Each structure stands twice: as C-alpha cells, then as structure tokens.
Amino acid sequence: MHVQFANIVVFCVVGALFVILNVSVVSRILRPTVRDPEKYETYECGEPAIGSAWIRFDMRFYTIALVFVIFAVEVAFMYPWALVFKQLSAVGPFVFIEMVVFLLILAVGFIYAWAKGDLEWVRSIASQRGGPEGRSGSNPGNQTDSSERKNAA
Amino acid sequence: MLAATKQLDTKAFAEFVSGVGDSVAGFWPEIVLGITLCAVLLYDLVLSRERSKNTAYMAFGGTLLSLALVFMLPSEPRSLFSGMLALDSFSTFFKAVILIGTLVTVALTQLDKENIGARLGEYYGILLAAVLGMMLMASSTNMIMIYLAVELASLSSYVIVAHRRQSRIGSEASLKYAIYGSVASALMLYGISLLFGMTGSLSVMGLADLGIRMATDVGFGIAVGLVLAGLAYKMAAFPMHFWVPDVYQGAPTAVTAFLSVASKTAAFAILLRFMASLDPGSATGIKMADGGLFLDWTSILAVAAAVTMTLGNLAALFQTNIKRMLGYSSIAHAGYILMGVAALEVSDYAGFKAVAFYLLVYLFTNLGAFAVVIVVSNQVKSEEIEAYKGLGTRMWLPALLLTIFLFSLIGMPPTAGFTGKFLLFRAAIDKGLYWLAIMGGINTAVSVYYYMRILKFMYLEDSAEKTPYPAPCLLGKVLTVGLALPVLLLFFLGAAAGWTKNLSLLG
C-alpha cells in the first residue's frame, strides 16, 4: 500500500551505495598512493597545524563573523528586491522607501560596530590594556579577561 | 525567470501597498519605540558617556510617547500587515502593561545606577529592543512572527542580564539563560514547523479548524506541546522554570524586575491567543483512536499550573536571598496565572479577564517589591533576607511599603493581589476545576510563610544597630509610593476589573 515510499527507499539505498562504493572501493582503485608525511597533516595547504583546536579564540573573530552575516543577509534580501524593482516601482515610491528604511536600520548597526572599533583588526596594545573602562566597549571579551586576570594576580 | 517577473500582478501589489499604509497607522507605538532605540544607541555613540542620564530621559520619553500612542490606537479589531499582527483591545491592553513596566524599569535603573555601572546608553538600547519584541509578542497572530518576537525579546534579555560585566554571577546567569533559552526556542520552532506541516498555514487563527480535524492525531498534541514548552520558558512555568532563580539573582535588580513582569506578561499574551484558538473550553485535546478524549488542554494546563505553583512555593521556603526568593515566588505566580488560562472559556472570557487583571496587579506589585529591594540595598548594601532585620524602625517607609507589596503577593485584602487571586480562583471554580482551586488555596497558605518571614525580620527582630538609615532619595520615594498606590487602589476600584472585561480577541 505504501508504494509511493518505494521511491524514497530506492533513493536512500542508491545514495548509501553511491557513497560506500566511491569512498571505499572506487577511490582505492583510482587514487595514486603517495606515502608522504605531509599527506597526513590535518590541512594539506602548507600551513602546519600547531596544537589543539580547543583554545580560546579571540573575540574579534566572532564580531567580524556577525558583521559579515548582517551584510550577507542584507544582500540576500536585496537580490529579489532588485529583480522586481522596475515593475513594482511603477506603483509608487513604496518599494524604494521600504528598502531605504531597511538599509537605514542596518546602517545604525554598522555605524555602531564601526565606531566601537570592531572593524579594526590591529589595535594598539594600550587600548587592550586600558582596563574595563579604558575604551568604551571596544573589546568586551578581552577586557573582562584581562581585568579578571589582574584581579586574580 | 524573466517571463515570471513579467507576470507580476502590479494591481495586487498596489492593494498590498495600500494595506501596508493602513497597517502603519496601527503600528505607531512600535515605530516610535524602534526610532527611540536607534536614537539612544547613536546618541550614546556620538556623545560622551558622561551624559548617560540623557539616554535615560530619551528612553523614558520614547516609551511614554509609545504608551500614549497605544491609548490612541483605533479600537475596532483588525489585522495588520497581511495577518502578521492583530490590532485588538487584547493586544492593546498587554502593550500598555508592558510599556508601563518599561517606564518603571527605566526609573528603577536610575535608582540602581551605581550597581548597574557605566554604558547606560547601550543598556537602554537593549532594553528598548526587548520591549519592542515583547510588544510584538502581544500582538502576533502569525507563528513565524511569534517566533521572531520571542527571539528579539529573548536575545536582548540575555545581553541585558549580563550588563554588569565585572559580575561573575551575572555572566553565569546570562550564560545559563542563553543556553536554556536556545533549547526552549528550538523546541518551540520545532513545534511550529510541525504545525506548519500539518496545516500549510502559519496563522494562529487556523489552529481552531486544525484542532478539530486533527484532534485524534498524537502528532498534533506533540506539536502544540512543544510550542507551549517554548512559551513556558518565557513565563517561568513548569517544566521550563529552572533558569529563574539564577537569572533573577545574577541580573541587575532593575533587569530582574523587568523580566519578572514584562517577559511574563508578553508570554501569557501569546499563550492566551494560542489557547483561545485551540478553544480548550470545547473539550478538544489529544484524543485516542476510538475518539475518546485522552488528554484535553484544560487538564494539561491545570496540571502544569498545579505543579508550577507547588514547585515555586516549596523552593521559595528555603531561600536566604530576597531576589532568589522573589524568583521562586515568580514561578509560583506563573502557576496561579496558568490556573486562569486553564479555566479559559472562549465564550464568556472569564479566564481572560482574570489573567489580564492579575498580570496588571502583578506588574505593580512585583515592580514595587523590587523597587524596595533596590532602595534597601542602596543603603544596606545587601540583598540577603537577614539584612532586613530591624528595618521596620531603621527605614520605616520602605519597610511599610514592602509590607503592602508582600500582602499583595500573598493575596490578602486590602490589596489588589486579593482581587486578582479572587478572580483567578473564581474562574477555576466556575470551570469546575475544584481540585485546582484547592491546590491554589493550599499553595497560598504555604506562601504566607516565606512572605511573612520577611515581615518578621523587619518588625519583630532587632538588629544590633539601632540608628535609622537616611531617608531614601526622592526618586526612590516617588517610585515606591507610586507603585504602592495602584496596588491599594486596584483593590477598591472594582471598575478596573470591568475595564478588562471588554477585551476582545481578533479572529
């Protein structure tokens, strides 16, 4: 009775077989065998991996990633808008105004990140050691850490 | 692709645009709040932080304007932004409650300024973002809109809880809040996606038909249960209550006060709207295959209410920190309010009236209690209950006012807490939930112990030191007295109960 699910079963089986065959059989036959220590590195791009990945990352990576996401989403919204802009702008300025409002709100966030110095990758050591109130919110993670370390010491 | 774009119906789009134009007229409170939010952030950025008091005025003014606009909203119920939001007296009431809570929170923050620390501009910006999310929660009728609103309110709350950057306990609270919160919101989103899969519609109003059609389906029960779990997190109800004590203790007191009333109010607004469309009064619920009722929503909510209040009250008995105690008391109150939701009867709105009125009363009572906690800790420098020894003679006005607020939390006349609890119990009894009303009664009796313990410390026990503390500052006096007045007046003003009677729900 569940004939319509047969497609899915076949799909799953074929998919699993495809992966298993390719990874374990086909690649074994086709690949060249080069016994080179560099082949056993985590990243084969010339950058030697040092130490474990379980370390504390600089707060700035996350900030930059967040700022990037904001702009990625912005562009994702603007593509469909640009596609229909010409036809729909015949109705009135609404289409334009709507996007301007959206961009203005994003701009507030952008200006905020910029003015707080989150876009500068290289910063003076002084601003990082300025203590909790040294520079307004320029790098919350590091400041808290450094001040807590100071307290502990 | 090009052919598809050529066929765009510009006429339908013109109608859509005019619909948006009409919707904006009912959206001004939120727009004003959004503009204030951006203005506060930019002002704080451009001008120096020494003028952080100005950001408080800006936040206060923007919220006040928003509140005035809420009262000027057109009264006839209608749908905004093609079914995303509802403009009805129900949402207007809850928006007003949230905004009043925000006004008091801004004032409380100024009172608690030394404790909260610098960067008040950012603090107010985040606070207003949370308020915006909660106002959207109060009016959303689309499930994605509900999710977005809950997330906006939640994410802002996580940040603002950790506003005291140097406070380890605050960071711990924020981290716990964020991790538990993301689990809760994931559960809720999963529930929403299941509901969407069943109906193909995201409208909350569409649930009513679905509830009847799919009532035999266990999957439907699971989906609704998941959404309810996400909401239970925001209103601090069992089984999603465990974040409350840590967060309430770790957050700045003004933020605790804000979360305990505004967040709860907004979550109950969604819950009421959600349950009203499921219509628990008409014996819907998870049915068995033969059509017999396995579990109906009323009993599920009633059990959740009973467990929530019992848990909150029992845990509150052993607390030594007043903020933690008020946290458990807030769980218990979520239980009492859930009692009203369990007694929800769409036909006569008795449960609605009781819940709405209780939330209004709870707003003033709990904000008042936290205001006194701030006033006391400004002088005594402690939030332990032990520190309240002999306060009746050393700080007579805050002690007296705290007595009023605690009486209202217990539900004793002549305070509004009595009227609120009376309405909730009557709603439960009218519905035939006698066992729930008895549970509520027993719980109230238990709660008397830990509220009265504070009174005992304040009036019956003497501290070593006898000299009175200096009188609280003007803002402290105005705030605490100003919050005590409605707590007393709402008891005498039967009219207020009549005001909430006319709440109507869109759809």
CA distance B143 to B164: 34
Where does the pLDDT of residue A151 fall: very low under 50, low under 70, confident under 90, or very high at 90 and above? very low
Contact yes or no for B505/B91 (Cβ under 8 A): no
| Residue range B392-403, pLDDT digits in tens | 888 888 899 999
Q: How close, in Å, is residue A149 to chain B by CA atoms?
A: 12
For residue B187, how many C-alpha atoms fall within 13 Å in the half-sphere facing its CB? 20
Alpha helices in A21-58 (DSSP H): 27-30
Q: Is A92 in CB contact (< 8 Å) with chain B?
A: yes
Residue B488 lies in a domain: yes
Contact yes or no for B87/B506 (Cβ under 8 A): yes
Would you say residue A153 has pLDDT above 90? no
Residue A32 has a pLDDT of 82
- For residue B321, the SS3 value is strand
| Residue range B489-503, pLDDT digits in tens | 888 775 555 555 556
Contact list in B for residue A116 (CB cut-off 8 A) is: 45
Q: In the predicted model, what is the mean pLDDT of residues A13-31?
A: 90
Cis, bond preceding B280 (omega within 30 deg of 0):
no
Residue B460 has a pLDDT of 87
Tokens of B140: 């959303």
Residue B120 lies in a domain: yes
Longest alpha-carbon distance in chain B: 86
Q: Which residue of B has its CA nearest to A151?
A: B166
Would you say residue B464 has pLDDT above 60? yes
Q: Is B38 in CB contact (< 8 Å) with chain A?
A: yes
CA distance A62 to B145: 27
Give which of A59, A56, A102, A96 is closest to A77, Cα–Cα.
Answer: A102
Residue B419 has a pLDDT of 85
Return the DSSP state at B142.
B
Give the one of A91, A115, A137 whose C-beta lies nearest to B13's C-beta.
A91
Residue B364 has a pLDDT of 94
* Long-range Cβ pairs for the range B37-41 (8 Å, 24+): B37/B62, B37/B125, B37/B128, B37/B129, B37/B132, B38/A105, B38/A108, B40/B121, B40/B124, B40/B125, B40/B128, B41/A108, B41/A112, B41/B121, B41/B122, B41/B125
In percent, the amount of chain B with pLDDT more than 90 equals 41
Q: How close, in Å, is residue A52 to chain B by CA atoms?
A: 25
Contact yes or no for B423/B460 (Cβ under 8 A): no
Would you say residue B50 has pLDDT above 70? no
Q: In the predicted model, what is the mean pLDDT of residues B83-111?
A: 90
Tokens of B37: 């939010």
Contact yes or no for B455/B398 (Cβ under 8 A): no
Residue B404 has a pLDDT of 93
Give which of B219, B232, B311 is closest to B268, Cα–Cα.
Answer: B232
Higher pLDDT, B6 or B337: B337
List all residues of chain B from 156 to 215 with a beta carbon under 8 Å from chain A.
Answer: 165-166, 171
Contact list in B for residue A108 (CB cut-off 8 A) is: 38, 41-42
Residue B213 has a pLDDT of 59
Residue B10 lies in a domain: no
Would you say residue B466 has pLDDT above 80? no
CB burial readout B420-455, b (16+ within 10 A) else e: bbbbbbbbbeebebeebbebbeebbebbbebbebbb
Residue B18 lies in a domain: no
Give the one of B8, B17, B166 whose C-beta lies nearest to A84's C-beta.
B8
What is the domain range of residue B319? Answer: 26-501
Residue B191 lies in a domain: yes
| Residue range B266-316, pLDDT digits in tens | 999 999 888 877 765 454 444 444 445 556 778 888 899 999 999 999 999
Element (H, E) at B78: strand B78-80
Residue found under tokens 């950012």: B122
Interface confidence, given as ipTM, is 0.71
Residue B173 has a pLDDT of 92
CA distance B124 to B60: 9
Q: Is A89 in CB contact (< 8 Å) with chain B?
A: no
Q: How many domains is chain B built from?
A: 1
Share the mean pLDDT of chain B: 84
Beta bridge partners of B285: B296
Residue found under tokens 């509140």: B67
Contact yes or no for B121/B52 (Cβ under 8 A): yes
Higher pLDDT, B296 or B375: B375
Would you say residue B507 has pLDDT above 50? no
For an interface test with A, the pick among B45, B132, B156 (most A C-beta atoms closer than 10 Å) comes out as B45
**Taking the CB of residue A99, how many other CB atoms lie within 10 A of it?**
16
pTM: 0.83
**Taking the CB of residue A27, how many other CB atoms lie within 10 A of it?**
10
Contact list in A for residue B21 (CB cut-off 8 A) is: 94
Contact list in B for residue A94 (CB cut-off 8 A) is: 17, 20-21
**Lowest mean pLDDT across A70-79, A129-138, B293-302:** A129-138
